[in-house]
Structure 1
Amino acid sequence: MKKISLLIWMALISSSLLAQRRGEEPRYDREKLEAAKIAYITQKLDISPDQAEQFWPLYNTFEDERRALLHQLRDISNEDKETLTDDKATQLINTKLELQQSLLDLEKSSIKKFSKVLQPKQVYLLQEADRDFVKHLYRMNRKRKIDEKR
């Protein structure tokens, strides 16, 4: 019953995740997206209320730091390639490697923190649940675009 109600709730959230703004591209409603992600991961990992109270602040901090590093990596990828010199390319390669190492270090330290709150199996399944949620968003977005074309 818990899984059925969660799936219904996820379907309702998913259908209203994209908010339309007049004259702009569709944007995700961040609050609804975060609520759906919390529900999805909580259900997939079977996180207890006591675990959730300790886990979600840790996870949110991890996600904020991860998002900032990924944003920096994206900025490097958006560098103007036509005016790129060899020296600048070398600098960008080194910066990119440093950021990737920072991502790995962040993940390692976060896993240690998560392991103090969650069971090892839950920590292991966390990455899979996070990845599955993103796949769900892509599928939902692709379906929305197909439906709009009809």
Structure 2
Amino acid sequence: MKNFKKIMLLLLISSSFHSFAQGGRFKEKREQIKTLKVAFITDKLGLTSAEAEKFWPLYNAFDEKQNDFRQQKMRSYMDRMNDGNIDNLSDKEASGFLSQIENAEDEMYQSRKKFTTSLKAILPAIKILKLKKAEEDFNRTLLKQYRNKGRKE
């Protein structure tokens, strides 16, 4: 039964990645990815119902905050670096820009640290480690699917 669940999860992920690769609207794709991520993490963590009840609201709030942060601050920094004007910055301007980026990265790190501290109140350390691994594995799988999509076209 456990192997059946894993096979079904992999089939769901594969078929969803396939539909992701077929095109469509960005928001729908993002929602599909989020749904796949929830299923993936749920499978990997093996949360009890009591843990899940506390974990998912906390995780969703953290994930949303991280996504908003990436969309707003980090994207604006990357756009600024890619606009072709980076070569025209003075040392002082470049140093200031670098400080802004470092502060943004530190803010993201502090947010992750606060999230981990909050998780310690509801999950055992082993499940927090499993979460970190599940997030990395999911992202790696998603990236691999994206790369494979590019080779087929």
TM range (shorter): 0.7 to 0.9
User: Is the 1:18–1:29 contact (alpha carbons within 8 Å) kept by the matching residues of 2?
Assistant: no
Alignment of 1:7 with 2:19, yes or no, is no
Instruction: Mark the CA change 1:19 to 1:59 in structure 2 (over 3 Å): closer, same or farther.
Output: farther
Instruction: Mark the CA change 1:10 to 1:20 in structure 2 (over 3 Å): closer, same or farther.
Output: closer
Higher helix share: 2
May I ask how many residue pairs the two structures share in their alignment? 144
Does 1 or 2 have the higher relative contact order (CA < 8 Å, sep 6+)?
2
- The root-mean-square deviation of aligned C-alpha atoms, in Å, is 2.0
Find the counterpart in structure 1 of residue 33 from structure 2: 33
**Long gaps (5+) in structure 2:** none
Question: For residues 54-93 of structure 1, what are the structure 2 equivalents within 5 Å?
Answer: 54-71=54-71, 72-79=73-80, 80-93=85-98
User: Is the 2:17–2:145 contact (alpha carbons within 8 Å) kept by the matching residues of 1?
Assistant: yes
User: Is the 2:21–2:149 contact (alpha carbons within 8 Å) kept by the matching residues of 1?
Assistant: no
3-state SS of 1:78 partner? helix
Q: What does the per-residue CA deviation read over 1:45-83, in whole Å, with 9 as the maximum and x for residues that have no partner? A: 112333222212211211122223334133223323033
User: Is the 1:37–1:133 contact (alpha carbons within 8 Å) kept by the matching residues of 2?
Assistant: yes
User: Is the 2:44–2:134 contact (alpha carbons within 8 Å) kept by the matching residues of 1?
Assistant: yes
TM-score, normalised on structure 2? 0.82
Alignment of 1:132 with 2:142, yes or no, is no
Supply the distance in 2 between the matched residues of 1:108 and 1:4 (Cα, whole angstroms).
Answer: 34
The residue type equivalent to 1:88 in the other structure is E
3-state SS of 2:123 partner? coil
3-state SS of 1:117 partner? coil
Instruction: Mark the CA change 1:17 to 1:102 in structure 2 (over 3 Å): closer, same or farther.
Output: same
- For residue 19 of structure 1, report the CA deviation from its aligned partner: 5.1
Identity, in percent, stands at 25
Supply the distance in 1 between the matched residues of 2:12 and 2:123 (Cα, whole angstroms).
Answer: 24
Q: What does the per-residue CA deviation read over 1:81-107, in whole Å, with 9 as the maximum and x for residues that have no partner? A: 033122221211211121121111111
| Mean CA deviation greater in 125-134 or 67-76 | 67-76
**Long gaps (5+) in structure 1:** none
- For residue 7 of structure 1, report the CA deviation from its aligned partner: 1.9
Instruction: Mark the CA change 1:20 to 1:10 in structure 2 (over 3 Å): closer, same or farther.
Output: closer
